[in-house]
Amino acid sequence: MTELAAVSVTALKGVGAALAEKLARVGLETLQDLLFHLPLRYQDRTRIVPIGALRPGQDAVVEGTVASAEVVMGRRRSLLVRLQDGSGTLSLRFYHFSQAQKEGLKRGTQVRCYGEVRPGSSGLEIYHPEYRALSASEPIAVEQTLTPIYPSTEGLTQQRLRSLSEQALARLGPQSLPDWLPRELARDYRLSPLDQALRYLHRPPPDADQAELAEGRHWAQHRLAFEELLTHQLSLQRLRDSVRAQQAPPLPLAKRLPQQFLENLGFAPTGAQQRVGAEIAYDLSQDEPMLRLIQGDVGAGKTVVAAFAALQALEAGYQVALMAPTEILAEQHFLNFGKWLAPLGVDVAWLAGKLKGKARAAALEQIAAGAAMVVGTHALFQDEVKFARLALVIIDEQHRFGVQQRLALRQKGVGGRLCPHQLIMTATPIPRTLAMSAYADLDTSILDELPPGRTPVNTLVIADSRRLEVLERVRSACNEGRQAYWVCTLIGESEELTCQAAETTFADLAAALGGLHVGLIHGRMKPAEKAAVMEQFKQGRLQLLVATTVIEVGVDVPNASLMIIENPERLGLAQLHQLRGRVGRGSAASHCVLLYHPPLSQLGRERLGIMRETCDGFVIAEKDLELRGPGEMLGTRQTGLLQFKVADLMRDADLLPAVRDAAQALLEHWPQHVSPLLERWLRHGQQYGQV
User: Could you list the residues that contact ligand ADP (CB under 6 A)?
Assistant: 267, 269-270, 273, 296, 298-304, 427, 451, 556, 558, 585
**Among 4-12, 496-504, 551-559, 607-615, which window interacts with Mg ion (CB under 5 A)?**
551-559
From Mg ion, ligand ADP, none, interface partner of 282 (C-beta below 5 to 8 A by class) = none
Nearer to Mg ion, 293 or 364 (CB): 293
494 closest CA partner among 474, 465, 514, 524? 524
The site partner of 299 among ligand ADP, Mg ion, none (C-beta below 5 to 8 Å per kind) is ligand ADP
User: CA neighbours within 13 Å on the CB side: how many for 539?
Assistant: 8
Cα–Cα nearest to 293, from 126, 134, 119, 437: 437
Distance CA(63)–CA(140), nearest Å, equals 11
Residue of 387, 352, 342 whose CA lies nearest to 367: 387
Helices (H) and strands (E) in the chain, counts: 23, 21
- Interaction pattern, residues 244-263, with Mg ion; x per rule: CB under 5 A: --------------------
Shortest reach from residue 483's CB to Mg ion, in Å: 19
Nearest to 577 by CA among 533, 544, 607, 597: 607
Q: Which long-range contacts (CB under 8 A, 24 or more apart) does 676-681 make?
A: 676/178, 676/180, 677/180, 677/227, 677/230, 677/231, 677/234, 678/231, 678/234, 678/235, 678/238, 679/5, 680/5, 680/32, 680/36, 680/180, 680/231, 681/227, 681/228, 681/231, 681/232, 681/645
Residue 222 CB, nearest approach to ligand ADP (Å): 38
Min CB(303)–ligand ADP separation in Å: 3
Binding-site partner at residue 300 among Mg ion, ligand ADP, none, CB < 5 to 8 Å by type:
ligand ADP
Nearer to ligand ADP, 304 or 571 (CB): 304
With CB under 5 to 8 Å by kind, the binding choice for 689 among Mg ion, ligand ADP, none is none
Residues 6+ positions from 644 with CB-CB distance below 8 Å: 225, 228, 229, 232
Element (H, E) at 277: helix 271-284
Is the bond preceding residue 599 a cis peptide, omega within 30 degrees? yes
636 and 647 Cβ atoms separated by less than 8 Å: no
Instruction: Provide, rounded to whole angstroms, the least separation between the CB of residue 300 and ligand ADP.
Output: 4
Per CB under 5 A, the segment of 38-46, 165-173, 554-562, 593-601 that binds Mg ion is: 554-562
Identity of the residue, 46 or 303, whose beta carbon is nearer to ligand ADP in the bound complex: 303
Q: Which does 304 bind (CB under 5 to 8 A by kind): ligand ADP, Mg ion, none?
A: ligand ADP
Pick between residue 230 and residue 553 the one whose CB is nearest to ligand ADP: 553
Look at residue 325 and give the partner it binds from Mg ion, ligand ADP, none, a contact being a CB closer than 5 to 8 Å depending on partner kind: none
Q: Which range, of 91-99, 304-312, 430-438, 553-561, touches Mg ion by CB under 5 A?
A: 553-561
Residue 554 lies near Mg ion (rule: CB under 5 A): yes
- Of 148-156, 372-380, 550-558, 569-577: span binding Mg ion (CB under 5 A): 550-558
Rounded distance between C-alpha atoms, residue 438 and residue 592, angstroms: 31
Give the whole-angstrom CA distance, residue 455 versus residue 69. Answer: 74
Closest to ligand ADP by CB, 32 or 273: 273
Q: Which is nearer to Mg ion, 289 or 554 (CB)?
A: 554
Burial degree of 245 (CB within 10 A; 0-12, 13-18, 19+): exposed
Q: Which position's Cβ is nearest Mg ion?
A: 554
* Min dist. Cβ of residue 453 to ligand ADP (A): 7
| Residue with Cβ nearer ligand ADP (45 or 582) | 582
Rounded to the nearest whole angstrom, what is the least distance from the CB of residue 328 to Mg ion in the complex?
12
Closer by beta carbon to ligand ADP, 208 or else 276:
276
From the CB of 174, what's the least distance to Mg ion, in Å? 51
**Contact of 546 with 519, CB cutoff 8 Å:** yes
| H runs (alpha helix) in 108-251 | 158-170, 183-188, 194-202, 210-215, 219-244
Nearest-CA neighbor of 444 among 280, 687, 635, 250? Answer: 280
Phi, psi (degrees; rounded to nearest 5) at 443: -85, 150
Q: How far is the CB of 306 from Mg ion (least distance, A)?
A: 9
Nearer to ligand ADP, 207 or 263 (CB): 263
Q: Minimal distance in Å, beta carbon 280 to ligand ADP? A: 14
Nearer to Mg ion, 428 or 483 (CB): 428
Give min distance, CB of 305 to ligand ADP, in A: 8
- Residue 549 C-beta: closest distance to ligand ADP, Å: 16
Cβ count within 10 A of residue 527: 16
CB closer to ligand ADP out of 97 and 439: 439
Q: How far is the CB of 573 from ligand ADP (least distance, A)?
A: 17
CB under 5 to 8 A by kind: which of ligand ADP, Mg ion, none does 277 bind? Answer: none
Strands 421-426 and 390-396: parallel
- 122-181: contacts with Mg ion (CB under 5 A): none
In 10 A of CB 183, how many CB atoms?
9
Q: How far is the CB of 298 from ligand ADP (least distance, A)?
A: 5
Residue nearest to ligand ADP (CB): 301
| Residue 451 binds: one of Mg ion, ligand ADP, none (C-beta under 5 to 8 A by kind) | ligand ADP
Terminal-to-terminal C-alpha distance of the chain? 34
CA 196 – CA 222 distance, rounded (Å): 12
Between 62 and 294, whose beta carbon lies closer to ligand ADP? 294
Q: Of 535, 506, 537, which Cα lies nearest the Cα of 520?
A: 506
Nearer to ligand ADP, 270 or 543 (CB): 270
Beta bridge partners of 41: 149
Which amino acid is present at 528? Answer: A
Binding site for Mg ion (CB under 5 A): 554
